[in-house]
Amino acid sequence: MTTVLTHATFYTGEADPAVIKDGYVRFNQQIEAIGTMADYVPAAGDEVINLTGKVIVPGFIDVHTHGAYGFDTMDGNQDDLVKMVRSQITEGITTVFPTTMTQSTESISQAMRAINAAAAEEPAIVGVHLEGPFVSPHYKGAQPEQYIIAPSADLVAQWNELSGNRVRLITYAPEEADDLAGFEEYLLAHNIIGSIGHSNASREFLQNNSKANHITHLYNAQRPMKHRDPGVTGHAMLEDSIRTELIVDGFHVAPDMVKLAYKLKSAKRIDLITDSMRAKGLGDGVSELGGQTVYVKDKQARLEDGTLAGSVLEFDDAFRNIINFTGASIQEAVEMAAVNQAVEFGLTQKGTLRIGKDADMNVFDGNLSLLATYSMGRHFSKQDLVIKEA
């Protein structure tokens, strides 16, 4: 049955029209029509839903998420990955890159196999983010040091094949590579975006040696910006070509520093991410990340030594937070939550509301509380959330 949502305000993510007031959208798996109610022509068999006073935006794209609701990418279980992603859809994420972490090569291989199988069942899985094991021990964050190794194009090739050629993003420390030029050439040749993260590289080194144009969770687990040493963070701020991830939970990055990044990078160069881990959605308590005990309290996930261990951030909170922290418009928040990721990763069916694109949409009330999500036309809400039993 074709669904029609009527009398809503649409923020399309497109340049023209960017906003449709008192609009409608007709869709099955893809968007069949979108416009103002003045152009709406009823059709027999339509399921019409009146959404007066509601706001509709494109579905969110999370390119950095390890786990949620008791599930984790590194568990390497197909069925659990499907459940994890479908639960994440209820917070507005309609496109997911399940994200690995620094573990043994065999554990990462098993995760790739599981993602490949899960993606055949759940179309919201469209890529893989390899975070580690090619990181620096100096800025390992919550990445277990015993599994850190130097960047290897051969391993990436192996993991990419196991994933069904879905690896789209790799976090690595460029200064740790034995053959950085060769590694980055491999990534470019295979449509994989290299991201500087968990890195102790200087700006001078990055300027002279690295072609990476993406930064993993800006400010976090990287050589910081200082007045005599710009570091990774300063490099990200100064290079217009670089896109930066931001965890906008108010803990990983102070709100004023989020605002600084927004002012320097603009909405067009920021990708909102959750960097969420298994404990998201489970409340306070004890959890696990990469074999390490994680303590969750007051919406923060930390190792025993206090190190932040991913987040328990829900994407609809990130969407509201970026507006509240920076004064960004809803249109700009849509850019940071969906448009930028679709452009960067060539997701031509995602990111905006346009005829022929996948019917990925979020429905908010006037206070930007998430009411419902459509993922390729499938209806999801918070009531559909699946929590893994202990």
Q: Which domain CATH number covers 10?
A: 2.30.40.10
Are 148 and 35 within one domain? no
User: Tell me, what's the pLDDT at 291?
Assistant: 87
Q: 296 and 374 share a domain?
A: no
pLDDT over 80 at 390, yes or no:
no
pLDDT tens-place string over residues 362-388? 999 999 999 999 999 999 999 999 999
293 occurs within a structural domain: yes
Verify cis geometry, omega within 30 degrees of 0, for the bond prior to 174: no
Tens-place pLDDT, residues 338-361: 999 999 999 999 999 999 999 999
pLDDT for the residue 242: 98
Could you list the residues known to form a binding site for substrate, using ranges.
142, 220-221, 228, 252, 308-310
| Residue written as token pair 């034995």 | 178
- Residue 93 counted as domain residue: yes
What is the C-alpha separation between 211 and 389, in angstroms, rounded? 44
Domain count for the chain, please give it: 2
SS3 28: coil
**DSSP assignments along 333-363, one per residue:** HHIIIIIHHHHHTT-TTSSS--TTSB--EEE
Between strands 270-273 and 285-289, the pairing is unpaired
Which residue reads 């008192």 in tokens? Answer: 22
pTM of the shown model: 0.98
| Domain carrying residue 234 | 60-345
Closest CA to 217 of 309, 316, 283: 309
Could you read off the pLDDT of 244-256 as tens digits, one per residue?
999 999 999 999 9
Residue numbering of the annotated binding site for Zn(2+) = 131, 198, 217
Say which residue the tokens 């099955």 belong to: 28
171: closest CA among 261, 69, 102, 90? 102
Same domain, 206 and 284: yes
Q: Which residues fall in the annotated binding site? A: 131, 142, 198, 217, 220-221, 228, 252, 308-310
The CATH number linked to 149 is 3.20.20.140
pLDDT of residue 1: 79
Say whether both 165 and 308 belong to one domain.
Answer: yes
Q: Are 268 and 55 in contact (CB under 8 A)?
A: no
Instruction: Show which residues are catalytic.
Output: 275
Q: Average pLDDT, whole number, for the chain?
A: 97
pLDDT tens per residue, range 257-275: 999 999 999 999 999 999 9
**Residue 385 falls within a domain, yes or no?**
no
pLDDT tens track for 151-169: 999 999 999 999 999 999 9
Are 42 and 176 found together in one domain? no
Residue 84 counted as domain residue? yes
